[in-house]
């Protein structure tokens, strides 16, 4: 039991970061579409979902990639949350086959896979000597 408590104390910050990024992904990508589908008329709901798919979700994926790229060795796994939660969201909220939404999954993954290393490289080599 002592070893478990020591491990938790040593990695407390990483556990909090992982839990908060997963919670943010669940709220933005899973809960918001569920609230839209349940509370808005069909035409307005379609417009809101298109706004989510084309603006909010890619921006959230970009923010997650920048966050992970800031400290890539400790936060690399946080980039996996948004695209995977999106796939979960398509099954739970929209009750649809994942094949139709696979294009969005690929786009979100591409955003993350390009922005994370770019952020890391800018942070590593972008420092100026003044």
Residue 61 backbone phi and psi in degrees, to 5: -65, -40
3-state secondary structure of 93: coil
Residues 29-45 have pLDDT tens digits of: 888 888 888 888 888 88
C-alpha 1/C-alpha 91 separation (Å) is 39
Report the predicted TM-score, pTM, of the whole model to 2 decimal places.
0.80
Q: Which H/E stretch holds residue 100? A: none
* Contact status, residue 85 vs residue 30, Cβ threshold 8 Å: yes
pLDDT at 128: 64
- Nearest Cα to Cα of residue 84 among 69, 70, 64: 64
* Banded pLDDT at 130 (limits 50, 70, 90): low
Residues 102-127 have pLDDT tens digits of: 888 899 999 999 999 999 999 888 87
Does 100 score more than 80 pLDDT?
no
Structure tokens at 65: 């990639």
Query: Exposure of 97 by Cβ count < 10 A (0-12 exposed, 13-18 middle, 19+ buried)?
Result: exposed
Residue-range domain boundaries for the chain: 2-124
């Amino acid at each position: 039991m002592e070893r478990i408590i020591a491990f938790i104390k040593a990695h407390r910050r990483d556990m909090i970061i992982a839990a908060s990024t997963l919670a943010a992904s669940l709220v933005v990508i899973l809960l918001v579409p569920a609230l839209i589908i349940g509370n808005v008329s069909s035409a307005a709901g379609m417009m809101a979902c298109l706004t989510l798919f084309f603006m909010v979700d890619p921006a959230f994926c970009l923010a997650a990639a920048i966050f992970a790229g800031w400290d890539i060795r400790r936060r690399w796994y946080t980039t996996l949350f948004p695209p995977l939660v999106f796939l979960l969201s398509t099954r739970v909220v929209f009750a649809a086959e994942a094949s139709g939404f696979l294009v969005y999954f690929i786009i979100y993954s591409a955003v993350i896979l390009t922005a994370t290393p770019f952020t890391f490289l800018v942070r590593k080599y972008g420092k100026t000597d003044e």
